[in-house]
Structure 1
């Protein structure tokens, strides 16, 4: 494809040069090139020069968990003046040194893919540039001047690419010249840019454009199926919040190979959501339904409604998002899912919380270090917040005799956030819910969120007249790895792992595990006294953990 691009580049450049370019503070002309058989992007940047003779450009060497991003940079040169260029990886800056009397600089740099082989979850946030397509995030594609005003007029010129080469990004689709007037620079720095053999599906929701850009041959689903899920999700969520203000929104979906298991991730960006999904028969459309509904709900919970202290309010931004993910899907029957889906997911959330070794840790322990280094702490606010949201939803409906619900609380919080710049604090949240509560809500909040005590679900289910079973299987791995995860440190006697034959001291040469899942077997390849053992078991144990029964009576009482 890059060869075809080059054949048409001169003609496209000539045609564009005949057009009058709009004035801009910063312009980027992006062209496809092949250097030493390596496809690259050539970016010519025009910008104002600093009068002191030193102009600094921001370009992080480390970002989004990636290190050494400067490895993706090729040749760099000043085109209109003599000067020098320095890389300062420590500060994340490219320094241009030039004569002091220069008012404008023309600076050219090349961007390339700095790894070989297939993409993976570890590589998806690096520049991906090959003969068929490119997939790059703004922060590791576009250098931006330091110390400029917060809003700039930015010109993106893609005219060197041929007509059939898709250009798609956070600011538009299939536009070869994009003028971003009065562009917020922070939002410009949080964007996705793709091009090449991407297929773009578009639609409208109350006059606002939505799109899905994807590529490759998908194994688990078809494009139209995914776009329908996106369309249903955004329609229902925008209707819930009564917010149809976003004129343009896109989702990009990039496949990557994975032999065993399924994996998917998403990143919320300016006017967009970038996803990467394992492309095998162990991935299914149901996972996309969850991914879209959870992550896109963050447009409101977590973005419009901001936490005052990030991890401290994760019980809200992640937990309430989780609850409204299940509720939104079931209420609106997205992809045909109904009340039983809600009950299945809520039951799983109950099991996860009860099985967690940190299930009753105080909220103060959900801090930056714990959240980002410990799996159970990272999931705790999801589980705890979702169950607390369910509790509030049902109690408010009961108190108001069905006239109000947690939805009314959420709408009030959203209104205050968007009209008063109110951030989500504990005191603020307690004050809002107090207006819907009968009694001392502050004590309830202190007990279940601040202190971390579990909600008495048995008492709640009885009070609401819901049918439930008093016990269930919950996740129990039954053993602990050594610190290097190459051996078994200890085994819980009587556990399924113990019954299957796992013993302390065994060496581990292979493993297949689904963290927290009771529906998938743990498969271990062990070595003991020189003998190889292949062991598998379901990581479950019986516990007094209540589970809602999937009955029509429960569906009706829960409002589905």
Structure 2
């Protein structure tokens, strides 16, 4: 498990991009004070005396990220700058010509510890942790060349000691990286870390999987527990999709705050799917939950297919699918992998999905409101997860009933994956309903409009369910009950 491998360049597509740029990232013994130094080397197509670069001022709900950007005059004697954070722009004034060079630094702009900041740059003397959008700026022209522009970049990690780990979603311990990828879903959708991380790896059908972790974790979060459960989740999900094509995958786990006492009673844990892997950041204290860790593993790993390969066309408007169906399959695949028992699945689905949804005061908001308020309200954020999961459960049951238990939602999902990848199409409501009609032999557009788009509750007590399932009200909240212990016909048939 602790064998280290070097992994060379990832080439996700065959067309070589004309958007080329290179960076040198330099080590500094006082990274906390001085920040990560990045030197840009870019050759423009035409000779100019100024170039506009894109730098994201907002990323994943974090704003004012220009505060982490330093532009030292002492390192830029031949250039000057103008910042326009509201437009995500840095204007670089340079000697007229095609070749452009300048230096900037990325510095942590808040004081640790902080329990809830997960996506701002973290840079100190021990380690760094920076998302692609916050570490690398690109010419504005790159972002305007296509909806999903291709980019070729070279990154040289300069002066970092041999024992200083360099790790990201493209390679591990590689001091020179040549990356050919898309900009938004690729190069910018990557976490770059370095420092005192411990790195482990295993293979799935000769494809490397890396696990990078730092910190001394409490309450049973040993490296063995963390990595063995990662391997279990990856194996089960690739088997479910019958998809072993991922050439490189990595999971990066970092603590926000570590404390051995009980002052902070509870835990805060956040995971996010990124290019070629996922990242998790969590509080580290005596209340670490092994169940929460495994739930996040299965949820975020599922996003490698639902969200990455099956991609939304309308982002938040399609979160009923990308988050809701991911959540449903989080529970279903944990049961499939024997990570939880059938009774645990039933209890979790009742408490964490149905009950939490019915208690949410925003549960009946229309779907268009989710697009506007998803990043503003925790209650709104949770609506597509649970509304979509309940819908997925309903649809799974209807396909099972219609096919006399010979097909399920699993078959629809695998066909949807095949279609999206083979035909390079994006997920839309219309595409999903068209495929659903094939499995149910009926059009459910009205049902979908009523319950997913308009937000009305599905009357779970009146719907038809497979043999052995029924709903009853408990404290005005529907609860799924298992009768006759008829589990063999359901989730893991």
TM-score of Structure 1 vs Structure 2, range by shorter chain: 0.7 to 0.9
| 1:33 matched residue in structure 2 | 28
Give the direction of change, closer, same or farther, for the CA distance of 1:30–1:451 in structure 2 (3 Å limit).
Answer: closer
Report the 3-state secondary structure (helix = DSSP H, G, I; strand = E; otherwise coil) of the residue aligned with 2:325.
helix
In the TM superposition, 1:36-435 aligns within 5 A as 38-49=33-44, 51-76=47-72, 82-100=78-96, 102-122=97-117, 124-148=118-142, 150-180=149-179, 182-186=180-184, 187-220=186-219, 221-257=221-257, 259-334=264-339, 337-348=340-351, 349-359=353-363, 361=364, 363-364=366-367, 366-435=369-438
Report the 3-state secondary structure (helix = DSSP H, G, I; strand = E; otherwise coil) of the residue aligned with 1:173.
coil
- The Cα of 1:328 is off from its aligned counterpart by 0.6
- The Cα of 1:423 is off from its aligned counterpart by 3.0
- CA RMSD of superposed structures (Å): 2.7
Aligned residues: 460
Separation (CA, whole Å) in 2 of partners of 1:376 and 1:67 = 21
Separation (CA, whole Å) in 2 of partners of 1:88 and 1:451 = 39
Give the direction of change, closer, same or farther, for the CA distance of 1:82–1:68 in structure 2 (3 Å limit).
Answer: same
Report the 3-state secondary structure (helix = DSSP H, G, I; strand = E; otherwise coil) of the residue aligned with 2:28.
strand
- The Cα of 1:443 is off from its aligned counterpart by 4.3
In structure 2, stretches of 5+ residues that fail to align are 1-18, 259-263
The answer on whether the counterparts of 1:77 and 1:109 sit within 8 Å (CA) in structure 2 is no
Report the 3-state secondary structure (helix = DSSP H, G, I; strand = E; otherwise coil) of the residue aligned with 2:35.
strand
Q: Deviations over 1:341-388 (max 9, x none)?
A: 2211221222223334444x3644543234444444332222222122
- The Cα of 1:468 is off from its aligned counterpart by 5.6
- The Cα of 1:306 is off from its aligned counterpart by 2.7
Report the 3-state secondary structure (helix = DSSP H, G, I; strand = E; otherwise coil) of the residue aligned with 1:257.
strand
Separation (CA, whole Å) in 2 of partners of 1:279 and 1:434 = 47
What is the TM-score when the length of structure 1 is the normalising length?
0.75
Separation (CA, whole Å) in 2 of partners of 1:354 and 1:65 = 26
Report the 3-state secondary structure (helix = DSSP H, G, I; strand = E; otherwise coil) of the residue aligned with 1:393.
helix
- The Cα of 1:165 is off from its aligned counterpart by 0.5
| 2:481 matched residue in structure 1 | 548
| 1:464 matched residue in structure 2 | 466
In structure 1, stretches of 5+ residues that fail to align are 1-23, 473-541
Q: Deviations over 1:41-77 (max 9, x none)?
A: 2222222155121122222333333333233233435
The answer on whether the counterparts of 2:370 and 2:381 sit within 8 Å (CA) in structure 1 is no
- Which structure: larger Rg? 1
The answer on whether the counterparts of 1:84 and 1:98 sit within 8 Å (CA) in structure 2 is yes
Separation (CA, whole Å) in 1 of partners of 2:250 and 2:235 = 14
The answer on whether the counterparts of 2:317 and 2:371 sit within 8 Å (CA) in structure 1 is no
Q: Deviations over 1:61-119 (max 9, x none)?
A: 3333333323323343597983333333332222222222x332332222322222314
The answer on whether the counterparts of 1:170 and 1:272 sit within 8 Å (CA) in structure 2 is yes
The answer on whether the counterparts of 2:327 and 2:389 sit within 8 Å (CA) in structure 1 is yes
Separation (CA, whole Å) in 1 of partners of 2:163 and 2:325 = 43
Separation (CA, whole Å) in 2 of partners of 1:36 and 1:555 = 56
Q: Deviations over 1:478-517 (max 9, x none)?
A: xxxxxxxxxxxxxxxxxxxxxxxxxxxxxxxxxxxxxxxx
**247-256 vs 80-89, greater mean Cα deviation:** 80-89
The answer on whether the counterparts of 2:58 and 2:64 sit within 8 Å (CA) in structure 1 is yes
Give the direction of change, closer, same or farther, for the CA distance of 1:350–1:202 in structure 2 (3 Å limit).
Answer: same
- The Cα of 1:544 is off from its aligned counterpart by 5.6
What is the TM-score when the length of structure 2 is the normalising length?
0.85
Greater RCO, CA 8 A, separation 6+: 2
Separation (CA, whole Å) in 1 of partners of 2:491 and 2:108 = 51
Separation (CA, whole Å) in 2 of partners of 1:90 and 1:447 = 38
Report the 3-state secondary structure (helix = DSSP H, G, I; strand = E; otherwise coil) of the residue aligned with 2:485.
helix
